[in-house]
């Protein structure tokens, strides 16, 4: 690929497995993705599709019995997977930051929010005084949309609402001026009006700080409103890659299309009680993946070939790739 | 027969906090009147802590109100005692959000679903197994699974079991409290369709509690929007979504993310600030501290829920 030099993050053929008593579970099974500078990239899929494992792998935070078994993750041309642990810790504290779903479990309950944000600032910038660090924390909280930021510095996490906690997490992540922010379901635990605030904040941060964002979400609405490009995952694989507009207007992969059709929308016009489109069956057991395409058993458009041969991710249109035999004529992986 | 199946009148539920003698309380439901008509699906929407789950529980006597009454089929539930109280409970059931937490992990499906028959009808043995197998079929599960335990089922299957348990005794009224919130989109659609099928086949009336406006749009006929223990607006779903009259409803509808990237070109109306405390709600209209349209009157007088032509709104200066 010629565009890789331009990219901030480039993940190639990443494989992460969990070694369980029942066998090797391929949580991420050869995922490739790229994130351009200042870009917001979405990774969307249902529970167990591997989207969180992908995020953890980029940060090399996969816990046992999981392990990255292959592939490459490069940030600004620097390979992360072979980096010594100490240098990788600096990357996590510096160039890449992460925001998780439940801020309460990622904040220290016995330290004030101000202490925690200031600690992050000082870890990043040696020689930064305590007072200076606190002042910078207040500024960052303000940038994250927290009113009365100075007063909030003295609050403990339990004294804050879910929305404020998530803002504190975002402030902590951004105080190190990361090049890349990985946000794993950052608004899933929040109410919709707060979700709208946080998503607005993330878009502002992109324009103000120039950070790139990887947004991991199960929520198609959140992805549609926030991202520039989207990767759809199913059963550990990326099944579709597209710019956000084409994806929602004209999904290519039958899974993406079915998912969008089965989604109840607030702007729906059909009379109440109209049945939803359903995807029959459920996601495959990753320890007993079907041969061929993982989605074939649930796919309305499956042809005999789908049960036999696994399709590769192939270019279907300019900037769009899809893992499906329907589009693979003339070229596969 | 009257049109109303369930009526809540002046309902209030306070949860005292701060120990004995303390006058402080969380005002979870704070003066709600609500009528649910026979055969309709009424949705209750609002954000965490607005009191929607508590209100659902009050309506089926899973919690008793601090003040107010619930009429079911015209009968005051608080006046029923003993066997007639028990009999009335058959008619009202609930489906919970987390189907795993609401199923006893040490009980087989046969016993979980057989319990209502045992308790209310003294059905045991072979007959119980037959009833269980019939109800499993009703919710789309294979009867052979009745010897299994809850952990052996997927989230969607567990929710089917939760629905089967609620429907075992042929209730008239079912409270569905966030029944699909824990499920993935593809499974969610299956469960919503099942709930719609069962409603038609059994002539059920639902109270559907949800924070997901998309789900509500599909399943409900009418909707009540709650804010801090009160209903601020009600009406048909299409009308409330299409032209909300309470500013809070307007922000809530605007905040719902649409699966349409073009939505980003319309500037989003984003509600500012934080949710006020339900222990010490603001004076006058509870929304006035966050409302961009608030005027002095809003801080002084509490607006009443005024209805006209099937719509009701509690606002001094409703949007038109």
Span A60-97, pLDDT tens digits: 999 999 999 999 999 999 999 999 999 999 898 789 99
pLDDT at B1: 55
> How does the average pLDDT of chain A come out, rounded?
90
- Mean pLDDT, to the nearest integer, of B81-86? 82
B37 touches chain A (CB under 8 A): no
- Inter-chain residue contact B260 with A267, CB threshold 8 Å: yes
Which residues 118-177 on chain B approach chain A with CB closer than 8 angstroms? 154, 156
From residue B40, how far is each of A68, B19, B77, B199, B207 by CA, in Å? 52, 41, 21, 9, 9
Please tell me which residue, B278 or B57, carries the higher pLDDT value: B57
Q: Is B313 helix (H, G, I), strand (E, B) or coil?
A: strand
Calpha distance B48→A324 (Å, rounded)? 41
- The answer to whether the CB atoms of A196 and B271 lie below 8 A apart is yes
Q: What does residue B307 show for φ and ψ, rounded to 5 degrees? A: -110, 150
Beta bridge partners of A312: none
Q: pLDDT class for B237, splitting at 50, 70, 90?
A: very high
pLDDT at A279 over 70: yes
pLDDT at A149: 87
The pLDDT score that the predictor gives to residue B88 is 84
CA distance B275 to A102: 19
Residue A187 distance to chain B (closest CA, Å): 11
Q: What are the structural domains of chain A? A: 1-87+179-264+277-291 (3.40.50.300), 106-177 (no CATH)
Q: What is the pLDDT of residues B102-149, one digit of tens each?
A: 899 999 999 999 999 998 888 889 999 999 999 999 999 999 999 999
Say if the Cβ atoms of B271 and A193 lie within 8 Å.
yes
Confidence band for B21, pLDDT divided at 50, 70 and 90:
confident
Q: Is the pLDDT of residue B302 over 80?
A: yes
| Gap between the Cα atoms of B227 and A63, Å rounded | 42
Asked if residue A284 lies in contact with residue A49, where contact means CB atoms within 8 angstroms, the answer is no
Q: pLDDT-derived band of residue A2, with 50, 70 and 90 as boundaries?
A: very low
**Is B96 a residue whose pLDDT tops 50?**
yes
Question: Do residues B77 and B70 touch, judged by C-beta distance below 8 A?
Answer: yes
Quote the pLDDT of residue A333.
37
CA distance A283 to chain B (A): 9
pLDDT at A193 exceeding the cut of 90: no
Instruction: Report CB contact under 8 Å: A192, B220.
Output: no
Name the residue among B188, B159, B212 with its Cα closest to residue B48: B212
Residue of chain A nearest B218, judged by CA positions: A272
Q: What is the pLDDT of residues A291-306, one digit of tens each?
A: 899 999 999 999 999 9
For residue B97, what pLDDT is reported? 86
B34: pLDDT strictly greater than 80: yes
Q: At A329, is the pLDDT very low, low, confident or very high (cuts 50, 70, 90)?
A: low
Test the B interface: residue of A267, A284, A298 with most B CBs within 10 Å? A267
Local confidence band at B297 (pLDDT 50, 70, 90 cut-offs): very high
Length of chain A equals: 333
Rounded CA-CA distance A288/B63 in Å is 45
pLDDT bin (cut points 50, 70, 90) of residue B46 is very high
* Cross-chain Cβ contact A277/B189 below 8 Å: yes
Give B-chain residues touching A219 at CB under 8 angstroms. Answer: 257
Q: Range with the lowest mean pLDDT among A42-56, A121-135, B163-177?
A: A121-135
SS3 A318: coil
Cβ separation of A147 and B185 shorter than 8 Å? no
Mutate to test the interface with B, among A149, A186, A220, A266 (most CBs of B within 10 A): A266
Residue whose C-alpha is closest to residue B50's, from A5, A193, A34: A193
Q: What is the mean pLDDT of residues B163-190?
A: 93
Q: What mean pLDDT do residues B198-226 have?
A: 96
3-state secondary structure of A190: coil
| b/e sequence A38-59, b meaning 16+ C-beta within 10 Å | ebbbbbbbbebbbbbbbbbbbb
Q: 3-state SS string over A297-308?
A: HHCCCCCHHHHC
Residue range A27-47, pLDDT digits in tens: 999 999 999 999 999 999 998
Task: Among A196, A224, A247, select the one facing B270 at the smallest CB separation.
Answer: A196
CA distance B183 to chain A (A): 9
B193–A278 C-beta distance less than 8 A: yes
Mean pLDDT of B51-66: 95
Q: What is the nearest CA distance from A153 to chain B, expressed in angstroms?
A: 17
β-strands A212-217, A180-184: how paired?
Answer: parallel
Q: Quick one: pLDDT at residue A330? A: 45
Q: Which of B41, B48, B257 sits opposite A221 (nearest CB)?
A: B257
What percent of chain B lies above the pLDDT cut of 70? 99
pLDDT of A162: 83
Place of tokens 């320890």: A287
pLDDT of residue A5: 54
Question: Rounded mean pLDDT of A265-289?
Answer: 90
Are B268 and A279 in contact (CB < 8 Å)? Answer: no
* Higher pLDDT pick, A126 / A313: A313
Q: Give the model's pLDDT for residue B272.
A: 84
Question: Does the pLDDT of residue A331 top 70, yes or no?
Answer: no
Residue A161's closest chain B neighbor by CA? B274
């Amino acid at each position: 690929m010629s565009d890789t030099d331009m990219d901030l993050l480039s993940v190639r053929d990443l494989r992460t497995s969990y070694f369980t008593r029942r066998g090797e579970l391929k949580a991420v099974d050869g995922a490739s993705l790229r994130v351009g500078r200042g870009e917001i990239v979405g990774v969307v899929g249902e529970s167990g599709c591997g989207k969180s494992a992908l995020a953890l792998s980029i940060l090399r935070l996969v816990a046992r019995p999981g392990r990255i078994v292959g592939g490459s993750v490069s940030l600004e041309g620097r390979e992360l997977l072979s980096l010594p642990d100490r240098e990788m810790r600096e990357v996590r504290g510096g160039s890449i930051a992460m925001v998780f779903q439940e801020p309460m479990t990622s904040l220290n309950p016995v330290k004030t929010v101000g202490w925690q944000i200031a600690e992050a600032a000082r870890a990043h910038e040696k020689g930064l005084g305590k007072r200076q660090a606190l002042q910078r924390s207040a500024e960052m909280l303000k940038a994250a949309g927290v009113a009365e930021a100075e007063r909030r510095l003295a609050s403990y996490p339990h004294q804050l609402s879910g929305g404020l906690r998530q803002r504190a997490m975002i402030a902590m992540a951004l105080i190190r001026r990361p090049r890349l922010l990985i946000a794993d379901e950052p608004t899933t635990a929040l109410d919709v009006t707060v979700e709208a605030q946080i998503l607005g904040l993330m878009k502002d941060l992109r324009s103000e700080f120039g950070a790139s964002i990887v947004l991991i979400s199960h929520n198609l609405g959140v992805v549609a409103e926030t991202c520039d490009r989207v990767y759809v995952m199913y059963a550990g694989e990326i099944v579709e890659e597209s710019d956000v507009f084409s994806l929602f207007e004209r999904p290519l992969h039958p899974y993406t299309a079915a998912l969008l059709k089965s989604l109840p929308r607030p702007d729906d016009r059909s009379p109440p009680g109209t049945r939803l489109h359903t995807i029959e069956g459920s996601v495959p057991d990753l320890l007993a993946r079907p041969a061929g395409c993982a989605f074939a058993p649930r796919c309305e458009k499956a042809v005999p070939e789908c049960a036999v041969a696994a399709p590769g991710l192939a270019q279907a249109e300019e900037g769009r790739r899809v893992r499906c035999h329907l589009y693979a004529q003339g070229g596969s992986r | 027969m009257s049109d109303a199946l369930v009526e809540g009148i002046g309902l209030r539920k306070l949860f005292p906090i701060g120990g004995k003698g303390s006058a402080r309380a969380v005002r979870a439901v704070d003066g709600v009147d609500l009528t649910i008509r026979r055969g309709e699906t009424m949705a209750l929407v609002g954000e965490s802590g607005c009191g929607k789950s508590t209100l659902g529980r009050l309506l089926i006597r899973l919690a008793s109100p601090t003040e107010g009454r619930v009429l079911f089929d015209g009968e005051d539930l608080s006046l029923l005692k003993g066997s007639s109280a028990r009999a009335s409970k058959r008619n009202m059931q609930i489906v919970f959000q987390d189907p795993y937490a609401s199923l006893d992990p040490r009980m087989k499906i046969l016993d979980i679903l057989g319990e209502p028959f045992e308790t209310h009808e003294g059905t045991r043995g072979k007959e119980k197994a037959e009833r269980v197998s019939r109800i499993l079929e009703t919710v789309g599960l294979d009867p052979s699974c009745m010897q299994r335990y809850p952990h052996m089922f997927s989230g969607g299957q567990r929710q089917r079991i939760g629905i089967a348990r609620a429907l075992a005794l042929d209730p008239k009224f079912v409270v569905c409290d966030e029944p699909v919130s824990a499920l993935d989109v593809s499974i969610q659609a299956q469960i919503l369709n099942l709930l719609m099928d069962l409603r038609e086949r059994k002539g059920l009336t639902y109270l559907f509690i949800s924070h997901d406006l998309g789900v509500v749009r599909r399943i409900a006929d009418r909707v009540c929007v709650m804010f801090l223990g009160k209903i601020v607006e009600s009406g048909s779903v299409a009308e409330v979504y299409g032209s909300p009259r309470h500013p809070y409803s307007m922000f809530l509808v605007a905040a719902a993310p649409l699966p349409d990237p073009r939505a980003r070109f319309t500037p989003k109306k984003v509600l500012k600030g934080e949710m006020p405390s339900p222990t010490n709600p603001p004076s006058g209209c509870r929304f006035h501290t966050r409302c961009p349209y608030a005027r002095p009157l809003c801080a002084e007088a509490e607006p009443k829920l005024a209805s006209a032509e099937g719509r009701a709104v509690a606002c001094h200066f409703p949007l038109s």
